[in-house]
Amino acid sequence: MYSDYNRRSNSVKRFVSVQRIVGLLLMLFSLTMLPPIGVDLIYGESKFHAFVAAMWITLITGTLIWLPARKVRSELKVRDGFLITVLFWTVLGTFGAIPFYFTDSAWHSITDAVFESVSGLTTTGSTVVAQGVDELPHSLNYYRVQLHWLGGMGIIVLAVAVLPMLGVGGMQLYMAETPGPMKNSKLTPRITETARVLWLVYATLTLICALVFWALGMSPFDAICHAFSTLSAGGFSTHDASIGYFDSLPIEIATIVFMLIAASNFTLHYMAWQRRSLSVHLRNGEFRTFLTLFAVFAVFVCVPLIAYGTYTPGEAIRHGVFQLVAYGTDAGFATADPTNWPSYTPLLVMLASFMFGCSGSTAGGVKMIRL
């Protein structure tokens, strides 16, 4: 009987610890409302009140969840990490919808607002905007891609880097959140430092991507927003026509390169930077298979586009490769509509979205390492 009581007591403690962590994470998420407020003040669109309200609602709710459990400490198991992750994505999807619901008529119901929020955080990239994306306030367009960026590498992984300072261990959260079967490999001896390294690589590549887009002709705002969407493999754009809005081959080539980088294992990027050599990528079997299959699929996509006269040879390669990479990495950008392409090409492009992301990347799918 004592043993049963002890087990029940430990289980209760673990659930209360989960409550404490969810409260802390929600309080942390409330701070992400600050950048959209800054964007709104820069452009003077008077929408900041919705983000202020969302920040306080999220912060107060997180505090109320955390307060009753603030003194409880219990060693978490891996299953507790999964529970926290599921709870947090559910909670974030709900609270992340507040600015959408309060700010604009583009979302007619709380269901639409939650859909947009969850689509952003999970980097799905689907949207239910009732009006043109081009017509949205800058603060909302920025907030949408910020959700992508946080969800891309995983806000749980970010939390792993921060929460140990508040007395929360991060290994279980990291294992529950990290995509693919490579979660047991650590870049550094401490899991907290590993999470920080991954976010440093992620942020650095995002900055480089934004600078490249800006240099190629995007406005600073568009460059930042599309860099967030590209590195997170999300696909939200500030324009209805997506990347096709810019009608620029250099921008499309740069987007392809950074989409491939986003769909590659970020551990390889860190090791390549540390060793100052790209040979790390070429020695990795998953990465070689990743590029080889892209090349093979590109041939099978572009040849019918040329043979059926859908495009000129140059346009066929330009649109075919871009759409294949955008779908294959689950980024979802567009410069053409593949649903009207001939023969098997629409199906092949769709099939690519299930399989081309590498483990440890921001891409979706079942991960190349499993194939």
Joined tokens for residue 237: 């754009």
With contact defined as beta carbons under 8 Å apart, do 191 and 160 qualify?
A: yes
Contact 187, 197 (CB under 8 A): yes
33-58 burial: b if 16+ Cβ within 10 Å, else e: beebbebbeeeeeebbebbbebbeeb
Closest CA to 104 of 34, 29, 26, 40: 40
Sign of the CA dihedral running 110, 332, 221, 260: positive
Asked whether 170 and 194 are in contact (CB, 8 A), the reply is: no
Contact 145, 119 (CB under 8 A): no
> Rounded distance, CA 41 to CA 141, Å?
14
User: Are the C-beta atoms of 150 and 187 separated by less than 8 Å?
Assistant: no
Rounded to whole angstroms, how far apart are CA atoms 178 and 156?
9
> For residues 114 and 100, what is the distance between their CA atoms, to the nearest angstrom?
8
| Distance between CA atoms of residues 220 and 304, nearest Å | 38
Amino acid occupying residue 43 = Y
In tens digits, the chain (371 residues) has pLDDT values of 545 545 555 667 777 878 888 898 899 899 999 999 999 999 998 889 999 999 999 999 999 999 987 777 666 677 777 787 788 788 989 999 999 998 877 788 899 999 999 999 988 888 888 678 998 999 999 999 999 998 887 655 655 555 554 455 555 455 545 555 555 555 554 566 777 788 888 999 999 999 999 999 999 999 999 999 999 998 899 999 999 999 999 999 999 999 999 999 888 888 888 888 888 888 989 999 999 999 999 999 999 999 999 999 999 999 999 999 999 998 989 999 998 899 899 999 998 888 888 888 888 888 888 88
